[in-house]
Amino acid sequence: MTITVSDGYAQQMLAGSWEATGTLSDSSPSMTALLASKKLRGILNGLDTQCWDPARDPLLPSSVRYTAKTAAAGKEAAKQLLQQRLGLKVDPAAPLFAFVGRLAPQKGVDVILAAVPQLMRVDAAEALSAAAEGTAHQQLQQAQQHVAPGPSAAAGGVGPQLVMLGAGERWMEEVLDQLAAKYPGQAVGVPAFNEPLAHLIMAAADALLVPSRFEPCGLVALAGLRYGAVPVATATGGLADIVNGEVGYLVPNPGPEGDTAGFRKGVSALAAA
């Protein structure tokens, strides 16, 4: 018997789905047959609940740790601390969206970046894409043309906030660097690996964006749930085993990298969620 990290991913591999690899083409029949002969099964990876525990997390300041009973006050304190540290407007009522992970198309980071104008409720013409180059730049521009502009937060009401943390593809890191300048007080990107900051973001966030194209397990969604950050995820691989109608929100898969039509649909779906 062969074991992989989630039942959802195992089923995709046995079906020869493109979601098992993230490529435009499906898996080869011979590989699918081989996996079936090995009796491929999936067991969802578990979360280290000593490391990821908002009540005892050593990477969180003691002032923002919380239990299930004190989660509301704890998350509010964590949000205030994060807003102060990263230069966001200090507003406990602002819905805080977050991304924590590797900056790569697999993780749907290009989808998030293209949806930022709608998520931030500003005119799509102000889309941040100056740092992106080549095909990725073109996809960002094309996707933004299909995202309807929303009312500016300045027009009244509480504007949402966005924090993105991660390292990876250069052009994505460059776009993250521009977020604070494009959306002062409302969005910020930290193109780096920073474990203490990752834990604080989880503690502060209201929603965790996980629009992966393919995802063998999806541990970040489990961490988000542990800290009360509701995952907004695609129903693929292990994410489909974690997020459902009762836990979190599901959005359509944007399709494999290079699928422009799927990319546009994914951007619109994420913005609408």
Please report the DSSP string for 66-134 in residue order: --STTHHHHHHHHHHHHHHHHT----TTS-EEEEES-BSGGGTHHHHHHHHHHHTTS-GGG---TT--H
Beta bridge partners of 232: 209, 249
94: pLDDT strictly greater than 70? yes
Q: What is the pLDDT of residue 246?
A: 87
**Whole-number average pLDDT of the chain:** 85
- Bridge pairing between strands 230-234 and 161-165: unpaired
- What does the pLDDT look like over 71-93, one tens digit per residue? 999 999 999 999 999 999 999 99
> Per-residue pLDDT for 123 more than 50?
no
SS3 28: coil
pTM of this structure: 0.85
The predicted structure's pLDDT at residue 271: 75
The arithmetic mean of pLDDT across residues 228-243, rounded, is 96
Which has more confidence, 224 or 150? 224
